[in-house]
Amino acid sequence: MLLLSYLERRKSTDPNTKGYFEKNGKALGTFFICAVGFWMILLIILPYLYMVIESFHPKLPMKLRGGPTDLVTLDQYKSFFIEPSSGDWNTTHFWAFFYTIIVSISVTFFNFAICYPVAFYLAQSGKKMNVRFLMLALVVPYWVNEILRAFSLRLLLTSKGVINQVLLAMGLIDSPIDFLGLNIGLYVGLSYAYLLIMMFPLYNAIESLDKYQIEAAYDLGAPRWKIHRDIVIPYSKPGIASGCTMVFMLCAGSLAAPQFLGGPSTLWFTSIVYDFFFQSFNWPRGAAYAFLLLSACVAFVMITLRIFKVSLGESIK
Amino acid sequence: MNASVQLEDLSVRFGDFTAVSNVNLNIDGGEFFSFLGPSGCGKTTVLRTISGFLAPSTGRVTISGTDMVGIGPNNRPTALIFQNLALFPLMTVSENIAYGLRIQGFSLTERTKKADELLELVALNGMGTKLISELSGGQKQRVAIARALAVQPKVLLLDEPLSALDLKLRQHMRTELRAIQQQVGITFIYITHDQGEALTMSDRIAVMSDGVVLQVGDGRAIYDNPTSAFVASFVGENNAFSGRVTRIDGNLAQIETSTGNLVGRNPKGLSIGDKAILFVRPENLNFGQTLGSVEFEAKFNSAAFEGNATHIHLMGAHGGEITVTLSRSDDFNVPAKGTSLKLSYQPALGLILADGALASD
Amino acid sequence: MNSHIISRAMIGFYILIFLTYLFGPLILMGVTAFNTPSYPQAFPFEGFTLEWFVKLWNHRAMMTGLKNSFVIGVGVVFISVPVGLAAAVIMSQISTKLRGIYYLVAVSPLLTPGVIIGISTVIFWKDMMGMSVFTKTTFYKGTILTILGQSSFVSAYCLLIISARLQRFDKALEEAALDLGASFSQVFWHILVPFLRPALFSAGIIAFLMSFENYNTTTFSILADKTLVTVLAGEARQGTTPALSALAVVIIGTSILGAVFFEIYKRREQKVKNQEAA
C-alpha cells in the first residue's frame, strides 16, 4: 500500500513523469503490482523471515506452540556448538559443517580447473559447427535428472561396479576399492553434478573477449600461459566469479550426491538438516542449521566477489 | 477535415534545462507548416508536446480552440510519423495501416478495404500482404504515412521523416509529400534541419534555435528578409561582415568593417554606433564592378565546380571566408591562389542586422 | 607450427576425455537397462531384455509421481510466467535507485540453496494455512506447497529471460500505437506481448523443466505426496534395480528428441531473425 501511494505521488509532481497507473492502465497496472507483490512478499520475503523466526523457537509439540513456553531462544543456535543432550562440544556437527564447506570449495576449484580449457576452446578456437555440436553434447547429460546421474555414478563406483571390474580384470588391484566409503564417490558425484554450471558462465565470459587481444599479446612475444594469466583470466573475472559462486552454493546445499554416493560415515551438513526435518521432526533446530548454512553461503559469495573485485550485478549474468 | 493549432506561451523544461521557451504560434488549418533548426533546438520537443507525449511546463496547446491539457496522445486528433517510422515489425503492411481502425472497432473486411484505398493513395498498390522487413526505405516511409492517414487525423505531425533516405529519394519524396498534403487537405506540421526541404515544401516556416522561435514566415520572407543574424546564416549560404554602423541614408546604412565600408538595407532601423553584421548572399556577389555597386577586394583561394553552379572561395580582409556562386553561364578564369580580385554587389542586396550568434557557431 | 599441431591434438584429446567423463556413466547405465540380471550390470552382458521397461511401466508409485510432477509443472508455469512478465515490466519502469533493491530481492531465490527454499516454504505456509480449518484441509497439500515453493525461484528465472527480451523493445512502437488511438492495455496485448512471445515461450518451457526435475526444494515441500523425482530418490536409496536404468534411458531418449526439435526450432527462428534484420 505504501508503495502504491508512493507511485501515485510521483505522478503529480512533474507532468512529464507518467504516473504508474497512467502508463499501464488500471487493470494491467493492478495485476502487475499484485503479481509481483504476491511473489516477492508471500513467496520470498515472508517465508524466509518465518524460517529465521522459527529458528529462534524451542522445539515444542503442536499444542504448546504459541503458548507460554514458546519463548524466543538462542538454544537452537547454541545446539550447533554444544550438544543439548550431553552437554559436550558438538564436534560432529561442527566437523560436518567445515567438511561441507571445504569440500565445496575444493570441488569448485577442481571444476574450474577442468572446465577452463574446454570453455576456452569452445569460446575462442572452435569452428561454428563444432562449437554448436559440442555445446549440445555438453547439455544433453544435464537433461537427465540429477538423481539418475548420481545413480549412474554409483553403478560405476560400487565394489561390484564397472571400474572395479575393469581394474580387477586388468590385474591392477587384488580386491575392489571401496570408492564410496572413501568418499571419492561423493567428490566425483559433486563435481560431475555441477560441471556445466561452471562451464556456461565461463564460456560466456571468455566468448566476449576479443580474439585479437590474444593474438596481439602472442605477437608481442608473450608465452601462452602468460596470456591466460594476464589477459584472459582477468577479463573473465565476472564469469569465473559467477560460476564459482553457483557451484559452491549448489555443492553446499546438495542433497542428492551425499545421499547416494556418500559412505556410511559421511557427514554432510545439508543431510543433517534434512534429518532434523524428516527424522527427528525438530523443525526449529533444522531451521537454525539451515540459516547457518545460508549465512555460510552468503559469506562465501561476498568474499569471492570481494576477492575478484566484481559487483553482484555483474556476476548474475 | 483539418484543424488549426495554437501554441500559447509554450515552455517545456526538463529539470534545469529549458528545451522550449515562450513559443507563440498560430498554425492555420490546411497549412503545411515547418519547424526548421539545428539539432537540439527544441523542434522535436515542440512536436511531441503537440502530439501529447509531453506536457508543457507552462503555456498550452490548443487544437481548433480546444485546450489539449490532460488529453493523452491516443485521444488527440493528431497522428505522428516517427523519425524511425516505428512500423510494427510483426504485422503485415495492411495490418500496420489498419491498426488505428482496428482500435476503433472496424471489421476485418472494412479495414482491409480502407487499407487498400490508402495503399493506392501512396502508390503502393497490392503490397498489403507483405511484411515490413521486405520493404525498401522509401516504401516504409509511405506505409508510415498511410498508417497515420488511416485514422483521419486533423493534424499530421512529421518528425524528420526523410532524414534516413538518400538524396534522390529525398527529393522525390518532398514533392510527393506536398502533393499528398494538398490532396488530403489536412494540416501538416513538419520538423527538419534541412532548409532545402523546409523551403520547397512549406507554406510557412518557423526557424528555431536554442528553444526559441526566431522568425516565422514563408520561404521567400525567411530567405530574403531574415530578421536575425542566426536566421540569415542558417537558411542558405550567406557571407557575413561584422562592423559598426557609421552612416544612415534613408533605408540604407553603411557599416565600417575590416574589409572596407559596406552599404546595405537597414530594415531593423539600427543607429549609428550599433554593432552590426552585413550579409550578402553568394549568388548576389559579382566580379568586377557595375553602376552603383558596392566594391571591395578579396584574395582568391579555390574554386569548386558543383554541376549547375561554381562556388568560388576567397579570403577576405577580415580573415573570414567569402563565397561567390556563379551559374554555368557566367565565365570565370581561375587565377593563381592569392590573387586579389574585385568583388561587388548592389546595395539593396546587402542586409544589415544586429550583431548576434551565427548558425555556424 | 609443430607445437601448434601438438597443442591442438592435446586439446582434442582432453575434450575427448572430458566428454567421456560426462557421458560414460550414462552410457553404462543405458546398457544395464537392457541387461537381464536384476542387479544393474554392464559387464558381462548376459542377455538382451526389455523386461525392465515393462516393470517401469507397471510401477504404480512412479506413475503417480509422474502425474504429480506434471500437475506441479503446469501449476508452476501458470504462476511463474505471468509473475515473471509482471516483474519484468515493473522493473523496466522503476527508477534506477529502486531498481537495485528490487533486483536483489528478485534474484535472491536463485542464490538460496534449494533446501532452504523448501524449508521456509513449509514453515511459512503451515502457519498461514493453519489459520483456519478450511484452509488447512484444502490447501495444505504437498502439491500446492511445492508449486508455491518452486515458483519462488522459477519466477526469478522467468524474470531474467523475459527482461532480456524486453530490453530490446523499441519504445517508439508503443508510442506509435498510442498515437493511433490505442489504450494502454491494447498496446500491451497488441504490441508488447507478441514481441515477447519467444521469450514467454522459452520461459514457459524452462519453467516446466526446472520444476519437473527439481529435487532439493521438492523433497521438503512435497510432504506426504510424491513426484517422479522423489519416488526415484526413494527407490535409488533402497536398492538398485535396472528399472531405474530403464527410466534413465527413457529420459535420455526423450531429451535427445527434445534437443533435436529444439535445434530445428532454433534454426528456423534464426532464419526469421535474419530476414527481420535485412
Q: Is A122 helix (H, G, I), strand (E, B) or coil?
A: helix
- Residue B212 has what pLDDT? 92
Structural domain contains residue A229: yes
Is there a contact between B53 and C175 if contact means CB atoms under 8 Å apart?
A: yes
Q: Residue B171: is its pLDDT beyond 50? A: yes
- Considering the domain architecture, whether residues A106 and A131 belong to the same structural domain is answered as yes
Q: Residue A86 domain-assigned? A: no
Query: Does the beta-carbon distance from C244 to A151 stay under 8 Å?
Result: yes
Residue B26: per-residue pLDDT: 92
CA B156 to chain centre: 17
Q: What is the pLDDT of residue A50?
A: 80
One-character DSSP codes across A183-215: THHHHHHHHHHTHHHHHHHHHHHHHTS-HHHHH
Search chain A and give the residue with CA nearest C21: A192
CA distance B233 to B243: 16
Residues A256, C216: C-beta atoms closer than 8 Å: yes
Q: How far is A302 from chain C (nearest CA, A)?
A: 12
Q: How far apart are CA C68 and CA C57, in angstroms?
A: 16
Is the pLDDT at C68 greater than 90? The verdict is no
Q: Residues A286-308: what's their mean pLDDT?
A: 80
Peptide bond into C44 cis (omega under 30): yes
Domain boundaries, chain B: 5-224, 237-354
Mean pLDDT of C199-224: 83
Q: What is the pLDDT of residue B45?
A: 92
pLDDT at residue A15, rounded to an integer:
39
- Minimal-distance CA residue of chain B relative to C276: B133
Confidence category of residue C74, pLDDT binned at 50, 70, 90: very high
CATH class for the region spanning C62-239: mainly alpha
**Does A227 lie in the same domain as A164?**
yes
Q: Is A126 on the interface with C (CB under 8 A)?
A: no
pLDDT at residue number A9: 42
Q: How far is B167 from B164, CA to CA, in rounded Å?
A: 9
Neighbours of chain B (3+ CB pairs under 8 A): A, C
User: Which of A13, A16, A17 should be substituted to probe chain B, the one whose Cβ sees the most B Cβ atoms within 10 Å?
Assistant: A16
Question: Is A16's Cβ below 8 Å from some Cβ in B?
Answer: yes
What is the residue type of B242? Answer: S
The pLDDT, as a whole number, for residue A10 is 43
Question: Which comes out higher in pLDDT, residue B330 or A128?
Answer: B330
Answer yes or no: do A112 and A151 share one domain.
yes
Q: Give the nearest chain A residue to C262 (CA atoms).
A: A136
Measured in angstroms, the CA of B146 and the nearest CA of chain C are apart by 12
Indicate whether C278 pLDDT > 60: no
Instruction: Give yes or no for A212 touching C (CB within 8 A).
Output: no
- Mean pLDDT, rounded, of chain C: 78
pLDDT one-digit tens code per residue, A228-258:
787 788 778 877 887 888 888 888 888 877 8
Name the residue of chain C whose CA is nearest to B75's CA: C181
List, in order, residues 6 or more apart from B198 with CB less than 8 Å away.
Answer: B34, B36, B190, B192, B205, B219
CB proximity under 8 Å: C 33-52 to A:
39-43
Pair (A112, A34) in one structural domain: no
pLDDT of B137 over the 90 cut: no
Q: How confident is the model at residue A316 (pLDDT cuts 50, 70, 90)?
A: very low
* CB pair distance less than 8 Å for C176 and B82: yes
Phi, psi of C190 (to 5 degrees): -80, -35
> Is the confidence at residue A2, as pLDDT, over 70?
no
* Phi/psi at B172 (5° precision): -65, -45
Band (A178; pLDDT cuts 50, 70, 90): low
Residue A128's pLDDT is: 67
Q: pLDDT-based confidence at C41, cuts 50/70/90?
A: low
Interface A:B, Cβ pairs < 8 A? 7
CATH fold group of domain B5-224 = Rossmann fold (3.40.50)
Q: Which other chains touch chain C, taking contact as 3+ CB pairs less than 8 Å apart?
A: A, B
For B99, other C-beta atoms within 10 Å of its C-beta total 26
d(CA B202, CA B35) in angstroms, rounded, equals 10
pLDDT of residue A67: 57
Q: Of A73-82, B183-192, B306-315, C21-30, where does mean pLDDT reach its minimum?
A: A73-82
pLDDT above 70 as % of chain B: 99
Residues of A in contact with B55 (CB under 8 A): 15-16
Q: Which of C104, C117, C244 sits opposite A148 (nearest CB)?
A: C244
Q: Which residue has the higher pLDDT, C100 or B39?
A: B39
> Which pLDDT belongs to residue B286?
86
Cα–Cα distance measured from residue A239 to residue A245, given in angstroms and rounded to the nearest whole number? 10
Q: What is the DSSP string of B273-309?
A: T-EEEEEE-GGG-EES--TT-EEEEEEEEEEEE-SSE
Residue B127's Cβ-side half-sphere holds a number of Cα atoms within 13 Å equal to: 22
Contact with chain A for residue B54, Cβ under 8 A: yes
pLDDT tens digits for range B61-116? 999 888 888 888 888 899 999 888 888 888 889 999 989 888 888 888 998 999 99
Q: Do B133 and C181 touch (CB under 8 A)?
A: no
Looking at the complex, report in whole angstroms how far the Cα of residue B154 sits from the nearest Cα belonging to chain C: 13
Residue A8: pLDDT above 60?
no
Q: Could you list the residue range(s) of the whole structural domain that residue A18 is in?
A: 2-81
CB B114 within 8 A of CB B193: no
Residue B181 has pLDDT above 80, yes or no: yes
Place of cell 539600427: B270
Min Cα–Cα distance to chain A from B55, Å: 6
Between C246 and B68, the higher pLDDT residue: B68
CATH (domain of A252)? 1.10.3720.10
Does A66 lie in the same domain as A38? yes
Q: Is B55 on the interface with A (CB under 8 A)?
A: yes
* pLDDT of residue A3 exceeding 60: no
Please state, in angstroms and rounded to a whole number, the distance separating the CA atoms of residues C17 and C177. Answer: 56
Which pLDDT band, with edges at 50, 70 and 90, does A17 fall under?
very low
Last residue of a domain, one of A81, A110, A132: A81
Question: Is B43 a residue whose pLDDT tops 80?
Answer: yes
| Residue to test with chain B: of C180, C274, C276, most B Cβ within 10 A | C180
Nearest to B156 by CA among B31, B69, B39, B65: B31
The more confident residue out of C56 and B190 is B190
Residue A13 has pLDDT above 60, yes or no: no
Residue C205: the pLDDT is: 84
For chain B, percent of residues with pLDDT exceeding 90? 18
Around Cβ A17, how many Cβ atoms within 10 Å? 14
Q: What is the pLDDT of residues C102-143, one digit of tens each?
A: 888 888 888 788 888 888 888 888 777 766 666 666 667 778
For position A73, what pLDDT does the model report? 67
pLDDT-derived band at A315 (thresholds 50, 70, 90) equals very low
**In this complex, is the C-beta atom of B88 within 8 Å of any C-beta atom belonging to chain A?**
no
Report A:1-20 residues touching C (Cβ under 8 A): 20
What lies within 8 Å, CB to CB, of A139 at 6+ separation is: A196, C259
- The residue-averaged pLDDT of B163-188 equals 87
How many structural domains compose chain A?
Answer: 2
| Residue A253 sits in the same domain as residue A152 | yes
C183: nearest CB among B74, B90, B150: B74
B237-354, superfamily in CATH? Nucleic acid-binding proteins (2.40.50.140)
* Claim to verify: residue A145 and residue A275 sit in the same structural domain: yes
B133 vs C176, C183, C275: nearest CB? C275
B–C: how many Cβ contacts below 8 A? 63
- Does the pLDDT value for residue B206 go beyond 90? yes
At residue A177 the predicted structure's pLDDT band, cuts being 50, 70 and 90, is low
Per-residue pLDDT of C177-187, as tens digits, reads 888 888 888 88
**Does residue A121 sit in the same domain as residue A22?**
no
| pLDDT of amino acid C135 | 65
Res. A16 pLDDT band, cuts 50 70 90: very low
- Residue A132 confidence (pLDDT) above 80: no
Closest CA–CA distance from residue C263 to any residue of chain B (Å): 23
Query: Average pLDDT, stretch A192-196?
Result: 80
B182-208 mean pLDDT: 91
Residue A212 has a pLDDT of 78
| Same domain? A26 vs A114 | no
CB of A101 less than 8 A from some CB of C: no
Q: What beta strand segments (E) does chain B contain?
A: 5-14, 17-27, 32-36, 58-63, 66-67, 78-81, 155-159, 187-192, 204-209, 212-217, 239-249, 252-257, 260-265, 275-280, 286-287, 294-305, 309-316, 321-327, 340-345, 351-354
| A245, A293, A316 ranked by CB distance to C107: nearest | A316
Contact C216 A253 (CB under 8 A): yes
A45 & A135 share domain: no
Is the model's pLDDT at A198 over the cut of 90? no
Q: Give a yes or no: residue A242 inside a domain.
A: yes
Q: What local confidence, expressed as pLDDT, does residue A159 receive?
A: 62
| pLDDT value for B54 | 87
Q: What is the 3-state secondary structure (H, E, C) of chain C?
A: CHHHHHHHHHHHHHHHHHHHHHHHHHHHHHHHHCECCCCCCCCCCCCECCHHHHHHHHCHHHHHHHHHHHHHHHHHHHHHHHHHHHHHHHHHHCCHHHHHHHHHHHHHHHHCCHHHHHHHHHHHHHHHHCCCHHHHHHHCCHHHHHHHHHHHHHHHHHHHHHHHHHCCCCHHHHHHHHHCCCCHHHHHHHHHHHHHHHHHHHHHHHHHHHHHCCCHHHHHHCCCCCCHHHHHHHHHHHCCCHHHHHHHHHHHHHHHHHHHHHHHHHHHHHHHHHHHHC
Query: What average pLDDT does this structure show over B286-296?
Result: 83
Is A13 touching B (CB cutoff 8 A)?
no
Of A43, A143, A316, the CB nearest to C152: A43
Looking at chain C, the domain(s) classified CATH 1.10.3720.10 span: 62-239
